[in-house]
Amino acid sequence: MPRLLAAVLITCYLTALLNAQASKEEGPAGQTVAAPAAKTQFPLDAFPEFSAVMVGSVMPSDDRESYIYRSGKLLRNSGPEGHNFVITDLTTKETYGVSAPGCIHDRRPYFRAMPFSFAGPDLTVQRTTSGQETVDGYRCKIEDVTLSAKRFMNPIKLRLWEAEDLQGFPVKVVFLRGIQRSPEIHYKNVVLGPQDPTLFIYPKTCEKSLGYNAKGAGVTPGAKKPTDAPPAPPN
C-alpha cells in the first residue's frame, strides 16, 4: 500500500513537470508540416471503450508494460505492483488507487492516465497532419496535436501515430517537450469495444492521498470487491 500511495502522489510532480516545460516544435524528417486541420476535437475522445497493453508513460525512459482499460469517463491502469489497480475519472480528474489493504483517493489524475486525462470542456485543440509511417506493423497517419487550457502552464504538444486498421487509435504517442529524449508510449493488443463493467468498480469512500491507515480504513463496508483485470486479449 505505501508503494501505491507513492505512485499516486507522484502524479502531482509529473503533471507539474509536464505543464511547466516548454514544448519544442519539430517535424518528422523530410516531411512538410501541413496547415492545421479543421477538426478541433481531442483525438482520444473518439475511443470511449477499449483495452490495450500500455508500454511506457509520460516519464522519460519508462519502458514498463501495464494494462489499460477505458469505459466512458473511467480509465483503469495497472498499479505499480501489478496486482493493484488505479481508476481515474476523466471528467473530475480524480484518482482512486485500490489494493487489498484499502483505497487511496487523490484529486489529480494518475500519471499513466495521460494523455487521455488531458481531455476537458476547456480544451482548445489544434491538429496538424504531418505524414504517414508504419509503426508496430500498422500503417499510421502522423498527427501533431497542440492542447491549450487555463489549467496548463504551457501548451502541451503531442505527436500521434494513428493506425488505419484501428479506426485511428494511436499506437504510438510522443510528448514533444524539447528535451533530449521525449517521453513515448506504445499501445499494443488494442481491442476496441465495450469493456467488462466490473473492472471499473471501486470504493466510493477512500483514504485521502495525504494519509494512510494501515488497517485499510476508507474502504466502504460491504462494497463489492473489484475483480482483478484479465490480460488484454490479442488482436
Residue 112 is assigned to a structural domain of this protein: yes
Residue 217 is assigned to a structural domain of this protein: no
Q: Are strands 103-106 and 207-208 parallel, antiparallel or unpaired?
A: parallel
Please tell me the number of Cα atoms within 13 Å of 88 on its side-chain side: 24
pTM of the model: 0.75
R_g over Cα of the chain:
18
- Across the chain, mean pLDDT equals 79
Task: State the sign of the Cα–Cα–Cα–Cα dihedral 186, 192, 193, 196.
Answer: negative
CA dist 199 and 74 (Å) reads 10
Residue 28 is assigned to a structural domain of this protein: yes
DSSP string, 24-45: -----TT-PPPPPPS--S-GGG
Q: Check residue 182 and give its pLDDT.
A: 87
Q: Check residue 82 and give its pLDDT.
A: 64
159-175 confidence digits (pLDDT tens) = 999 999 999 999 999 99
Judge residue 72's burial from the number of C-beta atoms within 10 Å of its C-beta, 0-12 exposed, 13-18 middle, 19 or more buried.
Answer: middle
Q: Where in the sequence is the domain holding 176, given as residue range(s)?
A: 2-208
Residue 42 is assigned to a structural domain of this protein: yes
Q: Check residue 5 and give its pLDDT.
A: 46
Asked whether the bond before 115 is cis by omega within 30 degrees of 0, the reply is: yes
User: What is the tally of structural domains in the chain?
Assistant: 1
Q: Check residue 206 and give its pLDDT.
A: 86
Place of cell 473511467: 74
Residue 111 is assigned to a structural domain of this protein: yes
In CATH, what number is assigned to the domain containing residue 194? 2.50.20.10
Residue 230 is assigned to a structural domain of this protein: no
Which residue positions in the chain have pLDDT lower than 70? 1-40, 81-82, 179-180, 209-235
